[in-house]
């Protein structure tokens, strides 16, 4: 998979890709991530990437020309399956959407900044608009990092244990069950006996029951679908 990220703040975005699972995924060439500084595509001498809103109002709007130039250059080099715009008024990200995105070959992620992009960018280029929650961030960069993390860990081979992503919370609309490791007793608090039974079908059943119970208690909305 190849991910091209268009941003006015590449330095804000880079560090999540320089550690742990994302770093290893890039080193193992399971994913390529490229950053494009929108300022490099500015069309005037001031390197402008934004301007005042027509009609008045607080906040700057990202210009269409640099974005068009950057996206058109990328599209001239290869086919892209999606152009994703990170915005608080997009569709709210969930595991189903990350699963779908992880199946793509090449995607572009456009990070909004200031008040956001000129509407014509959305109308002309964007194929998917994604929000990571009902709150407003200073820009789309951190949201893009969240999306990339959620997507990249699903690419086959990225996680050590292939089944591990399949047992994450949300993969089957259930939260994950409780998990335990050493020591068996800590300050008098024990681990459920069933986990030492060696009876794996029973352990699996216990985990399913716990996942269901936890979901019912914390996120009953997930059980409605």
Binding site for ligand ADE (CB under 6 A): 86-88, 112, 131-133, 135-137, 140, 143
Determine if residue 112 is labeled as part of a ligand binding site: yes
Determine if residue 123 is labeled as part of a ligand binding site: no
Tokens standing for 69? 């130039």
Query: Which residues, at least 6 apart from 66, have a Cβ–Cβ distance to it below 8 Å?
Result: 38, 39, 41, 42, 43, 49
Query: Which residues, at least 6 apart from 83, have a Cβ–Cβ distance to it below 8 Å?
Result: 71, 107, 108, 110, 125, 126, 127, 128
Q: Which residue is nearest to ligand ADE (CB)?
A: 143
Task: Kindly tell me which of 86 and 174 has the beta carbon lying closer to ligand ADE.
Answer: 86
Determine if residue 136 is labeled as part of a ligand binding site: yes
Task: Kindly tell me which of 138 and 197 has the beta carbon lying closer to ligand ADE.
Answer: 138
Q: For residue 49, what are the CA distances in angstroms to 21, 109, 192, 225?
A: 33, 17, 58, 42
CB of 86 to ligand ADE, least distance (A): 4
CB of 182 to ligand ADE, least distance (A): 39
CB of 138 to ligand ADE, least distance (A): 7
Task: Kindly tell me which of 135 and 200 has the beta carbon lying closer to ligand ADE.
Answer: 135
| Residue 91 · residue 97 · CB < 8 Å | yes
Task: Kindly tell me which of 128 and 153 has the beta carbon lying closer to ligand ADE.
Answer: 128
CB of 142 to ligand ADE, least distance (A): 8
Query: Which residues, at least 6 apart from 105, have a Cβ–Cβ distance to it below 8 Å?
Result: 1, 2, 79, 81
Q: Is the peptide bond before 183 cis (omega within 30 degrees of 0)?
A: yes
Determine if residue 71 is labeled as part of a ligand binding site: no
Determine if residue 195 is labeled as part of a ligand binding site: no
> Among candidates 118, 112, 108, which has minimal Cα distance to 138?
112
| Residue 26 · residue 48 · CB < 8 Å | no
Task: Kindly tell me which of 7 and 215 has the beta carbon lying closer to ligand ADE.
Answer: 7
CB of 111 to ligand ADE, least distance (A): 8
Determine if residue 80 is labeled as part of a ligand binding site: no
Q: Which helix (H) or strand (E) holds 102?
A: helix 95-102
Q: Which residues are annotated as a binding site?
A: 112, 132-137
Q: Which residues are annotated as a binding site for S-adenosyl-L-methionine?
A: 112, 132-137
């Amino acid at each position: 998979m190849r991910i091209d990220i268009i941003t006015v703040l590449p330095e804000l975005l880079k560090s999540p890709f320089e550690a742990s699972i994302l770093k290893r995924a890039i080193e193992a060439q399971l994913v390529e991530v490229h950053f494009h500084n929108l300022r490099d595509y500015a069309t005037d001498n001031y390197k402008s990437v934004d301007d005042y809103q027509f009609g008045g109002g607080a906040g700057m709007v990202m210009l269409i020309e640099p974005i068009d130039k950057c996206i058109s250059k990328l599209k001239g080099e290869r086919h892209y399956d999606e152009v994703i715009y990170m915005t608080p008024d997009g569709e709210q990200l969930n595991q189903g959407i990350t699963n779908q995105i992880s199946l793509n070959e090449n995607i572009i992620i456009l990070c909004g900044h200031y008040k956001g992009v000129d509407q014509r960018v959305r109308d002309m280029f964007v194929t998917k608009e994604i929000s990571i929650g009902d709150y407003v961030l200073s820009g789309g960069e951190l949201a893009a990092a969240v999306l990339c993390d959620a997507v990249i860990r699903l690419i086959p081979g990225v996680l050590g244990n292939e089944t591990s992503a399949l047992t994450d919370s949300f993969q089957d609309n259930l939260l994950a069950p409780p998990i335990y490791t050493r020591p068996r007793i800590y300050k008098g608090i024990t681990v459920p006996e069933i986990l030492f039974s060696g009876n794996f079908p029973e352990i699996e059943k216990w985990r399913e029951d716990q996942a269901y119970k936890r979901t019912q208690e914390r996120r009953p909305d997930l059980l409605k679908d």
